[in-house]
Structure 1
Amino acid sequence: MKLNRINNTFRNMTSGLVNKVVTLLLPFLIRTTLIKTVGMEYAGLNSLFSSILQVLNLTELGFSSAVVFSMYKPIAQNNTKQINALLAFYRKIYRTIGFIVLIIGILLLPILPKMVNGGYPKGINIYVLYVVYLINTVISYFLFAYKSAILNAHQRVDIASNILTITQGAMNIVQILVLLVFKNYYCYIIWMPVFTIINNLLTAHFTNKMFPQYHCEGKIDNEQLLDMKYKVGGLMVNKICLTTRNTFDSIFISAFLGLTVSAIYGNYYYIMTAVTGIVSVISSSMLAGIGNSIQTDSVEKNYNDLKKFNFLYMWLSGWCTICMLCLMQPFMIIWMGKENLFPFGVVILFCLYFYILKMGDMRSLYSEAAGLWWQNRYRAILESLANLILNFVMVKIWGIYGIISATLITLLLINFVGGSGIVFKYYFKNKKLTEFLKDHLFYFVITVGNAILTLYVINKIEISGIVGLFIKGVVCMVIPNIVYSIFYLTRKELKHYFQWLYEKLF
């Protein structure tokens, strides 16, 4: 079965964008309400607990991605029996993982106070709070989280996105009301496991309704089990790498710089991840379609698609980078006040962090869709170790600058360059890695020049407050895209895109 990749992608993108608006706007209001009602240190605790439990989720080892990948081929072949066996295997593994996460989480209870530099708010029991977060994490493993693999493999992420939009939106509204009325952190967090249960039940219901032919029955054969072990092994290493990058930063900041600095960092990081989440809706919506394309189309066709997708994606990512550079600090002044700001140098580092992260997104899609996790294992181990060592060393020397700089170094040199080399060696095999890297260098140089020009114009605007932010936003809408249009007008990728669009419309 060949999926309707274009329709599914646009459907996933639409629902994903709606989901991001709801699940980013409402948590933004929650974070604001949390800081204003109970204090900045509680936001720091929120970031710390979330980071610890993301580390615990490493126990999942990437089984979900391995199972989804393994479903691409049987879906293309309409092999329902094999999909059912994979689903049964997935359910069994997830329940085992749930017990492991619960046990490890409980064992961490005695060392919780040591993870907070300078203490935590008086009158709060961090053990109780942590246990609620832990329960919220393990619930999905015991319920129906495995059902989402069916939706992902069929490129119907829109269903899961719509359910999450409703459940998380409702939870966030309840949490805001509770904070405003009771100003109590316990009342705030207790709703998380409640709505996690509701989300799992709704996902199971709609998956069963859309795909009634799939049930947890049968066993996967030994050959497929061996292949799964290799993929999970590679996924485990890659997931450790991702976790050390995204969560250990918060733990290091909390341990070395304190909860207040961790909370301020969390505010900036929240803005960056909000933009990242919106842009990543595009890439995540394409994953199953690319997986299906790898099974049904030629390598050369997929390489040409990569160049076309990457060109458009980096235009969008570059524009978002420029907007963050020009608007993040003015927004933070309105949101949190001048007393809770980092220097502008930190803003520049966050913008570089975002752009370099996005540089690898399209390449990562093809790497994941081709199942190259095992081939990436050494690259991921090296990135993880380098990131941890640099974090430990550089936080002592440069503080918050050191934390972000450590991530930038490993992200660019090991993740992007090294990861690109692997996907071109094992999948594309066309010796065009240099061409791919040159394209990115060109996009980066244009984006840097574009950013300097736009920032120069923005700095001439002396109007502050919400009106000033709006005017600067309009400038960021116009100038960067004019500059990109001038420099990209002759790019063949743009011509291919317009040709493709014309064929689809007419």
Structure 2
Amino acid sequence: MSLKSDRIKNTRRNAIWGIVNKFITILLPFITRTVLIYVLGVEYVGINGLFSSILQVLSLAELGFSSAIVYSMYKPLAENDNDVVCALLQFYKKIYRCIGSIVLIIGVALIPFLKYLISGSCPSDVNIYVVYIIYLLNTSCSYFLFAYKKSLLSAVQRQDIISKVAMINKIISSFIQIVGLLLLKQYYIFIVVLPLMSLLDNLLCEFLAKKYYPQFECHGKLDKKYKEDIIEKTKGLLIHKICGVTRNSCDNIFISMFLGLTPVGIYSNYYYVMSSVRGILDVFTVSMSASVGNSVAIESVEKNYKNLNLFTFIYEWLCGWCTVCMLCLFQPFMRIWVGEKAMFSFDVVIAICIYFYVWTIGDIKSQYADAAGLWWKDRIRASVEAIANIALNYVLVKNFGVFGIVIATAISILFIGFPWSTKIVFDNYFKGKSFLRYMRDEVFYAVVTIIVCFVTYEICNFVNVSGILGLIIYAVICVIIPNVLYLLAYFKSRYFKDAVRFVKKIVVKG
């Protein structure tokens, strides 16, 4: 059966296993984080957040080769050109070993500067240099093993295999971390598990890739045209990765430098909840990425433009509903989970919800931009957004604290990132299609979401019940009211009937 005929099946399978994996990878880390907070304290969560952010910055050395390689595999896979796929894997393997060495060297060179990234004191029983080295090993070890085999599984639309391996990995690591914290109350037990489980993850993915796709091995020499194409796309991807780091990782670093580890820990808890919700949405985009790549490779622009609008409509409903839930449930949930002392004021919650919404609305458009390989075309936009975000972070954190950090990122995405990147996609792939019409649809979706947020929040305020019962009642309200309001707003939309048919096709026919 061809990749084209398998697109719906693969998207559905990837989504199902992605959801199961996401449930596991949200629930178990939530339990381990809770144990960490109550056994050791929120400062230790701050250490996690800070060093994870630093290592994400170091991962810029990867330069986006993985995405470029996956993109380069779509066409030869569609044409059953196995020799090119094998040569791509061989090239990727060599590049990743070089990258691992770079990450390790730069990571070690940063050790003397760690003390300047933390405002105030650290927990007395923790050596920050030892902790950092463990995190560094966790980041760098994958590059020397079989991480490149994940690109093959992703390109052949078998993201479900990666999800299953990640799920097994998370179950084992969480069990060890929780038992270690409860019995030994040692932070080092908590973190030493990380590189060991990264090793297991890569070994399992390599074994399964070899089992299911034995025809794809690392051998052969890549043609010069493929190397030049990958290098060109990687240049753009590097800038995109820098932009992504400024959106997420730099937040924790700025908070640590200006406010200390405790605010980093509190923000990490809020960000964990937001990124968990985001992760659920990512299941759908990651599951469809290879299918979109295959579609862009063999289908017409007209067909893909129609799909873009359809998928955007469905996804806007989902991310808008998630925004409403976060606005109404964030504080009641945090009050039960960590208590009043580890909570931010409601203005920070509003900023986080705005950040979440503007961060997610471009996800579908980005799928087509990635599939069309427009990273180099988008380089100036990504650079401007990254610079603006860093500048705003620096200015606003000193005057508005954590609220300033969060709203700075939202502003840079809303006024620079989203509109500019969308224009690039329409100018370079959806040529002749109306950019303004697409943006009008986005504005309409945003206005509807704002109204739905206001109405749902006011209803929750009117109910005004505290504790676990209140959280349950608010959750029921958030399930019913927003979706009724969205239905009323959208049922006459030109995309509504197509969306219903598409969802039925995915759920029923698969």
TM-score normalised by the chain length of structure 1: 0.99
Q: Is the 8 A contact 1:98 1:138 kept in 2?
A: yes
Match of 1:230 among 229, 232, 241: 232
What letter is aligned with 2:444?
A: F
What letter is aligned with 1:2?
A: L
For 1:320, the equivalent position in structure 2 comes to: 322
By how many angstroms is 1:497 displaced?
2.2
What letter is aligned with 1:133?
A: Y
By how many angstroms is 1:41 displaced?
1.0
Change (3 A) 1:353 1:2: same
Superposed, 1:258-269 pairs within 5 Å as 258-269=260-271
For 1:200, the equivalent position in structure 2 comes to: 202
Match of 2:308 among 300, 306, 309: 306
Superposed, 1:66-465 pairs within 5 Å as 66-465=68-467
What SS does structure 1 have at the residue aligned with 2:378?
helix
Q: Is the 8 A contact 2:324 2:453 kept in 1?
A: yes
What SS does structure 2 have at the residue aligned with 1:120?
coil
What letter is aligned with 1:437?
A: M
Q: C-alpha offsets along residues 67-115 of structure 1, whole Å, 9 cap, x if unaligned?
A: 0000000001100000000000000000000000000000000011111
By how many angstroms is 1:502 displaced?
6.0
Q: C-alpha offsets along residues 245-279 of structure 1, whole Å, 9 cap, x if unaligned?
A: 11000000000011111111111111100100001
By how many angstroms is 1:501 displaced?
5.2
By how many angstroms is 1:397 displaced?
1.4
Structure 2 unaligned regions, length at least 5: none
TM-score normalised by the chain length of structure 2: 0.98
What SS does structure 2 have at the residue aligned with 1:492?
coil
Q: Is the 8 A contact 1:41 1:260 kept in 2?
A: yes
Change (3 A) 1:499 1:345: same
Q: C-alpha offsets along residues 97-143 of structure 1, whole Å, 9 cap, x if unaligned?
A: 00000000000000111111002111321111111111111111001
- Mapped partners of 1:500, 1:27: distance in 2: 33
What letter is aligned with 2:3?
A: K
Moved more, 192-201 or 246-255: 192-201
By how many angstroms is 1:195 displaced?
1.1
2:38 is equivalent to residue 36 of structure 1: yes
What letter is aligned with 1:472?
A: Y
Q: Is the 8 A contact 1:164 1:199 kept in 2?
A: yes
Change (3 A) 1:376 1:275: same
Q: Is the 8 A contact 1:2 1:296 kept in 2?
A: no
What SS does structure 1 have at the residue aligned with 2:219?
coil
By how many angstroms is 1:363 displaced?
0.3
- Mapped partners of 1:420, 1:202: distance in 2: 38
By how many angstroms is 1:2 displaced?
3.0
For 2:492, the equivalent position in structure 1 comes to: 490
2:17 is equivalent to residue 2 of structure 1: no
Aligned residues with identical type, % of pairs: 49
What letter is aligned with 1:113?
A: K
By how many angstroms is 1:431 displaced?
3.6
What letter is aligned with 1:178?
A: G
Q: Is the 8 A contact 2:28 2:174 kept in 1?
A: yes
By how many angstroms is 1:503 displaced?
6.5
What SS does structure 1 have at the residue aligned with 2:124?
coil
Q: C-alpha offsets along residues 360-414 of structure 1, whole Å, 9 cap, x if unaligned?
A: 0000000001110000100011011111111111111111111011101111111
- Mapped partners of 1:175, 1:2: distance in 2: 40
Q: Is the 8 A contact 1:113 1:119 kept in 2?
A: no
Q: Is the 8 A contact 1:352 1:408 kept in 2?
A: yes
Q: Is the 8 A contact 1:12 1:157 kept in 2?
A: yes
By how many angstroms is 1:187 displaced?
1.3
By how many angstroms is 1:147 displaced?
0.4
By how many angstroms is 1:168 displaced?
1.6
What letter is aligned with 1:371?
A: G
By how many angstroms is 1:333 displaced?
0.3
- Mapped partners of 1:402, 1:459: distance in 2: 26
Moved more, 9-18 or 220-229: 220-229
Q: C-alpha offsets along residues 138-177 of structure 1, whole Å, 9 cap, x if unaligned?
A: 1110010000111010110000110000012210111011
